[in-house]
Amino acid sequence: MNDNNLLKDTVEDKELAENENEKEEKGLIEKTIDEYLDSITAEEYLSMNTHDAYNSDLKKYKLFLKERNRKKVDKIRKKDIQDFMQVLLKEKKKPQTIAHYLTSIKNYHKFLLKNGYVNTDIAESIERPKLTKKLPNVLSVEEVDKLLDIRLNTPFDYRNKCMLELLYGTGLRVSELVSIKINDIDTINCIVHCIGKGNKERIVPINDYVITSLNDYLKERPKLLKNKTTQELFLNREGDSISREGFFKVLKKLLLEKGLNPNVSPHTLRHSFATHLLEHGADLRVIQEMLGHSDISTTRIYTHITNNQIRDDYNKYHPRNEKE
């Protein structure tokens, strides 16, 4: 056998081994989960928080399947998913959390079918747990005033005051708040530009309280830059953009200082913004636009809050409801 034949056989053996490896790896659960996560990363409308949530959900799902000795996707059974849901129930996960896990799993199995890894979508017929609509917590106008009454001594005080005024004055999500750039603010036309869910841009009006707070903060902001150059509006102690976690810490500290419920979240201010507008006669569709809700049914939950208040006042003040 000459050298050319030996070389040919070596190349063929190598290609055969590579094909066998590819065949062996094709359909591995771990590999396909990575592929799925890579595919949704490429989708511009998906936020990093959503991506991380999918990653966390599927990591737990993968470990569960591993315990059952499931290595390839074609070995996963519908009962595996149902049993995984039962595990979450035994761990006393909330219905909303279980529903989120199931959404992640359903989307993963759709990906498997779409890309030819399986012939059927075993997750398609699994029903989501029924969720009870929980009314969002809101602060009273007096509680908001108390929270926003910040003594202004340091640049951080001006920053914190401005962040809270902007959050309550616009109903922004905290992820939108910490992403705002200086040129997103237009104090002449009294508006703020923001990029919300689905990478959708919207314009929200700002009031005089917000504008005053912004102007005061912008005078102090250079002291936080630490010789850096950035267009991020709200800065941390290193001169970089404040994170969602950083804002949470600021809010928690202020709530404790003011003697308010420490479990209030940034989203509570968003809920309070919408509820107070509705209570003072704002149109529901206008509120929908300002909040960036794609479906008005999401906004409609705030009508339940005001209806509850109406019912409470009725029960309290109507003469026929007086208790003997």
Residue recorded with tokens 């404040």: 242
Active site residue 270: yes
Catalytic residue among 51, 70, 100, 267: 267
How far is the C-alpha of 256 from the C-alpha of 155, rounded, in Å? Answer: 20
Active site residue 293: yes
Q: What is the DSSP code string of 241-265?
A: BPPHHHHHHHHHHHHHHHT--TT--
CB 28 within 8 A of CB 74: no
Active site residue 173: yes
CB 276 within 8 A of CB 295: no
Handedness of CA 269, 270, 276, 279 (dihedral sign): negative
CB 194 within 8 A of CB 270: no
Catalytic residue among 173, 221, 271, 276: 173
Alpha helices in 173-243 (DSSP H): 174-177, 208-220
Q: Which long-range contacts (CB under 8 A, 24 or more apart) does 244-252 make?
A: 244/174, 244/175, 244/178, 246/178, 247/163, 247/174, 247/177, 247/178, 248/174, 250/160, 250/163, 251/164
CB 108 within 8 A of CB 36: yes
How far is the C-alpha of 99 from the C-alpha of 117, rounded, in Å? Answer: 25
Catalytic residue among 31, 197, 202, 258: 197
For residue 136, CA distances in Å to 193, 197, 269, 306 come to 25, 19, 10, 12
Catalytic residue among 109, 159, 161, 270: 270
How far is the C-alpha of 222 from the C-alpha of 229, rounded, in Å? Answer: 10
Active site residue 128: no
CB 162 within 8 A of CB 214: yes
Give me the active site residues, please.
Answer: 173, 197, 267, 270, 293, 302
